[in-house]
Amino acid sequence: MGSLKKAVAGKRSGAARAKMARIRRFFVLLAFEHLKPHHRMQPFSNDSLDALEREFRKPTPVSSAIESTWVSGRGWLRVTPHMRPMSEKLDNLLSETVRLMTELPSGSFKKSRHGVSRETLIKDLKELGIRSKRTKRRSG
């Protein structure tokens, strides 16, 4: 394989990985918003990260609807009425996520969703701007 072909393949792979990361961040934020309030207060504690991992790997009505929309290739998303309302941040990511999922081959994200490491989830939380809500009390 020539160096030009390798360069083109590398650029294509890098672009696909960047799209996958943006899609994964949507699902991380979706899982984070479904956590209990005490887990959202301290998002980087071990208990909160365990809960986030369970929630991230668990199929939710929104993630199932997005993935089925993506797999079927349809341009619409059916949302069930018993879901929680989405935050503004999550709502903004939704249209980008659906657009990116249509650009990738079907099934590529669903397979990799269970292989996400704990460190990747922490990096995604930081990238999304999620911080601990509790502050240290200072005397003095």
Average pLDDT estimate for 125-138: 83
The whole-number pLDDT of residue 34 equals 87
Q: CB 93: neighbour CB atoms within 10 A?
A: 21
Q: What is the CA radius of gyration of the chain?
A: 17
Task: Report whether 21 contacts 113 (CB < 8 A).
Answer: no
Q: Is the pTM of this model over 0.75?
A: no
Highest averaged pLDDT of the listed ranges 30-44, 68-82, 100-114 = 30-44
